[in-house]
Chains A and B, each alone.
Chain A
Amino acid sequence: MADKFVATNELGSWLAALSDQYRTLVPRREGDAVVFQPFEESRPVELDARPTKSPKEAVFPQCEALLTFAYNKNPETPGRVEVAVTEKMGGAPTVVVGGRPCDASGFFTFDRVYDSERVKDLNYLHRREQTLFVSLVCEKPATTCFCNWVGGGPASANGSDALMIPVDGGYVLESLTDSGGKLLEGLSDASDVQTKQAQSVKSAAEEAMDKAPDLSAAQEQLLAHFDDAEFWEEQSGKCISCGTCTYLCPTCYCFNITDEQFGHEGVRLRTWDNCMSSLFTMEASGHNPRPTKAHRLKNRVGHKFSYYPSLHGGNIACCGCGRCIKSCPASVDIRAIVLNAIATPVSQPEG
């Protein structure tokens, strides 16, 4: 399909047309934050500033009902209690417009875990199959961007159904998949000038990225530092163990399952879980294998840059979006931690 063009002042009507067929999520300013919300014509779309939250909620909601249950007793047989269980599967055709290439590629991290040979997460897949991504190309990296360190890029096509490239007067749209092409059908073709400009925006974006350091040693070095308590205490000193990094991260996929009961009825909820919380590994006995924030930060960084890659063909479970750095109240910088792990020699035990 040829490249398409949408003028800035036509963006609203294109999104409105999409909203007729799809749940259309766009970035929007709320307070000082930029969050993904369903498109509304009266509310402006924010495409210049980077979104604070990631769009992972579109496919992996923060709270999802997996099933509802109700306890019933038949007065004839009071010794028996029947449980009526109703499974739930949410999801509707969705398109996310205005996420960045890093956000879309984050879902590959999910897929390797939730859509594997052994295990298929049906609730996740039901949404994943119905969600399309039109990703905005980043013209220039933020000081916190490091997508090219982990195999991504500002104009990467990986994971998106269409790319949206800012040019004079609007955006050039490049279809990457058949479903992506369907989204662009109603738009006019881009002119040659516009197509050329789009190409140069993409190349300029790639050039603007600083050279990525060599992270090939990360997998081994992070594991080598596993018993180095002093190293991790130093790295984690300023962490306050909240959940900001985890909840804003496009690749964090851990969840918790809770039954909430109200009288004789209840619901089984799946909610995002947060490995930075001290309760993450709290066991029923009261023992906690990761009692300190040093343990937990070691796990987070280790998981993303070492354990996950060793289980999944070397793929790093991080898309380099930089949200964790930007939004962290203490400005913990995961890049610095990984580079420190590579650079710091492993302390040899004495004796």
Chain B
Amino acid sequence: MQHLEELKQQIKDKLPELDVVVGWEQGFDPLRATPLFMRKPEDVDRLIWNPLCVHNLATYLTGLKGKKVGVVVKGCDSRSVIQLLQEKLISRDDVTVFGLPCTGVVSIRKINRQLGSLDYVEDVELSEDSITVTSNGQKHAFGLADVAADKCGRCQYHSALLSDAFVGEPLTDQAEDDYADVKAFEEQSEEDKMNHWLDVMDRCVRCYACRNACPMCVCRDHCVAQSRDPHWMTQEDSVQNKWLFQMIHTMHLAGRCTECGECERSCPVSIPLLLLRRKMNKEINELFDYKAGTLIDGKPPLMSFKVEEENINERGW
């Protein structure tokens, strides 16, 4: 892609001042990309940039605190970087952002649903609007729009919002996000909604991939999910404990989640986690007119208050 060479050059130019630059390279098969940590110019030659680059690399930033780090970001990823800066979890001086415009990434799961299995991928060809996967000797062509991640269909931030080096032309056409999926889900009865969560949370293995993949989850060793004091959850693998963990995770992300979707993508047993976080973001947006990760000097709504709240009705009790 025409941006790739320019991106590689920009990274090589800045590499001497940086300890490491995080990007993507080809993974274990033609369909998977994987994060790449570039330390020497030869590493940069392995960089790729295409709709398979699904990972939100901002998640590595807090772990690399104290080092001079470069990170390659799409629009959604840049929101995570901004949110981390807003909460002062990383230092602006230590981060060099290489921003890119993005027209969407592929959802590996959607391709899995079409093919039945991703075990036999032999080749992948990408064009501007399609992806052709050769699996088990057969070619399967999909329009990129059909297998794009759900978040891409409603993306309002195609171009990285923050960058030290922006490669390519910023894209301006925005989609609308009216949280239709959240509203549709909520129309069900209370019983149906609860049954849905009881069913999907049953297969949770409490691997915490959702938590660790989230760029905003920085508590690491001190996460309440694993602590004995406070003792929020027991070690029993009951649905209550596993569901409570998701509620904790969502509440702790209120006003901080940038909807990158890594939580859902990382889940090995495909639990539809993003819905809970989108519901939270919908409410935060309605109550406080706030979207996480859009303004560097914004203040997360649950870390501040107004004496007179515009949208909260002082209960008429």
Contacts and interface: CB of A to CB of B under 8 A. Distances in A.
Given A143-B119, A331-B27, A234 B212 contact: no
Interface stretch (B97-105, B262-270, B277-285): B262-270
Most A Cβ at <10 Å: residue of B28, B33, B35, B265:
B28
8 contacts: A32-B112, A48-B116, A53-B205, A143-B119, A240-B212, A243-B209, A247-B205, A331-B28
A188 interface: no
A240 B112 CA distance: 24
B119 A32 contact: no
B235 A282 contact: no
A180 to B, nearest CB: 27
A204 interface: no
Given A143-B28, A331-B34, A33 B270 contact: yes
Interface in B126-146: 136
A56 to B, nearest CB: 11
B266 A242 contact: yes
Interface stretch (A3-11, A82-90, A322-330): A322-330
Q: Which of B207, B209, B268 has the most CB of A within 10 A?
A: B268
B59 interface: yes
B206 interface: yes
Q: Taking chain A's interface residues, is the majority helix, strand, or loop, or is none over half, making it mixed?
A: loop
A33 B226 CA distance: 25
A50 B34 contact: no
B55 A330 contact: yes
A178 B91 CA distance: 66
A52 B221 contact: no
Contact of B221 (A242, A278, A325, A326): A278
B149 interface: no
B37 interface: yes
Interface residues of A, number: 48
Contact of B237 (A242, A246, A271): A271
Contact of B109 (A32, A63, A246, A278): A32
Contact of B205 (A243, A260, A325, A333): A243
B250 to A, nearest CB: 18
Interface in B188-238: 200, 203, 205-209, 211-213, 220-221, 226, 234-237
A260 B35 contact: no
Nearest to A236: B37
Given A269-B235, A278-B221, A326-B118, 15 more contacts: A30-B269, A31-B271, A32-B109, A33-B269, A48-B117, A62-B237, A63-B236, A145-B119, A242-B213, A246-B207, A247-B205, A260-B235, A260-B236, A282-B221, A329-B266
A50 B118 CA distance: 10
Contacts of B266: 240, 242, 244, 329
A142 interface: yes
Nearest to B115: A49
Nearest to A278: B221
B272 interface: yes
Contacts of A277: 208, 226
Nearest to B122: A143
Contacts of A49: 116-117, 119
Given A237-B35, A244-B207, A63 B237 contact: yes
Contacts of B121: 143
Interface residues of B, number: 50
Nearest to B31: A143
Contacts, number: 134
A277 B221 CA distance: 8
B113 interface: yes
A177 interface: no
A256 B63 CA distance: 26
Nearest to A145: B119
A248 B268 contact: yes
B113 A32 contact: yes
B179 interface: no
Contacts of B37: 234, 237-238
Contacts of B112: 32
A144 B109 contact: no
A43 to B, nearest CB: 13
Interface in A243-262: 243-244, 246-248, 256, 258, 260
A158 interface: no
A329 B213 contact: yes
Interface string B5-20: 0000000000000001
Contacts of B221: 278-279, 282
Interface string A37-53: 00000000000111011
Interface string B77-120: 00000000000000000000000000000000100110011111
B213 A31 contact: no
B54 to A, nearest CB: 10
A31 B268 CA distance: 11
B218 to A, nearest CB: 12
7 smallest CB-CB distances across A and B, nearest first, come from A142-B119, A329-B266, A243-B207, A32-B270, A242-B209, A238-B35, A331-B34
A330 B35 contact: yes
Contacts of A35: 203, 269
Given A240-B213, A330-B34, A325 B268 contact: no
Nearest to B57: A238
Contacts of A269: 234-236
